[in-house]
Amino acid sequence: MLERALDALGFDPVNDRVLSVGDLIDRGPESADCLALLEAPWFHAVMGNHEDMMLRRLAGDPGAAALHLENGGEWLHGRRHPEEEPRLAANVEAAAKLPHLITVGGGNGECYHVVHAELPTGAATVVTDSELEAGIDMDPAHLLWTRKLMLGGGEGVPERAPGLSTTYCGHTPHPQVRRRRSHVCLDTGAVFACLTGDETAGALTMVERQYGREMALHRFAP
């Protein structure tokens, strides 16, 4: 699905880049191939909760193993020997080094952020660009797992948060892209279309950015 989408957009691997909100694995039948995207110099991703589950499972966490198997991790069953699959082992090692947050731009200029779930938010506040640039401490579990912002009632929640630039995220699927407190949730349920074969069940959404701004949203069915 991603390859077809990139072809449709005329993607140039020399000059263009793809930034992913994470969960490269467990979302369809080609998890190992999707993890191998980390080999590409044009591909950049943040850590998703599924990468986190995989890594904790491989580290011997029994709770994580059960949770991972329940959530699409069966593809990894019986594949825990790096000497037998050196490419997979190298890509797992690369996944362990994924950041929880990517910021593009900054330094008093235009910027945007990429996170898997969401940045810390309070009743009426959200973390700011200046705090992120200063390296504010944030709970990794919050960045990977929280759905407070996207599952909360959307009515009355502003699209923009003062002091925070556009922050692209995923994790919480919905038929439509949602914008809340500077977060733009791009998860439009591609996993459901892949797993069920029903093209109406979900789609892959990509943002095209050029010249420091958002140019277009693109939606691709399986």
Of 172, 180, 193, 186, the closest CA to residue 216 belongs to 186
Is-contact 29 4, C-beta < 8 A? Answer: no
Strands 204-210 and 183-185, how do they pair?
Answer: unpaired
Task: Give the start-end residues of each E strand in 17-166.
Answer: 18-20, 43-45, 101-105, 111-115
Token pair, residue 47, equals 């850590």
Which residue in 50, 68, 113, 171 is the catalytic one? 50
User: pLDDT per residue over 8-52, tens digit each?
Assistant: 999 999 999 999 999 999 988 899 999 999 999 999 999 999 999
Residue 50 known to be catalytic: yes
* pLDDT score recorded for residue 125: 67
Tell me the percentage of the chain whose pLDDT exceeds 90. 72
> Residue 26 is which amino acid?
D
**Greater model confidence, 181 or 1:** 181
**DSSP H or E stretch at residue 219:** strand 213-220
Token pair, residue 68, equals 């991972």
16-30, 58-72, 160-174, 206-220: least confident range: 206-220
User: pLDDT per residue over 174-183, tens digit each?
Assistant: 999 999 999 9
* pLDDT score recorded for residue 184: 96
Its pTM surpasses 0.85: yes
Q: How far apart are CA 98 and CA 95, in angstroms?
A: 5
On average, the pLDDT of the chain sits at 90
* pLDDT score recorded for residue 43: 98
Q: How far apart are CA 46 and CA 48, in angstroms?
A: 6
CATH of domain 2-220: 3.60.21.10
The domains of the chain are located at 2-220
DSSP reduced 3-state for 18: strand
User: pLDDT per residue over 122-137, tens digit each?
Assistant: 656 689 999 999 999 9
51 contacts: CB under 8 Å, gap ≥ 6: 22, 23, 24, 25, 95, 98
User: pLDDT per residue over 90-120, tens digit each?
Assistant: 999 999 999 999 999 976 668 999 999 999 9
Axis-axis angle for helices 62-70, 49-58 (nearest 10): 130
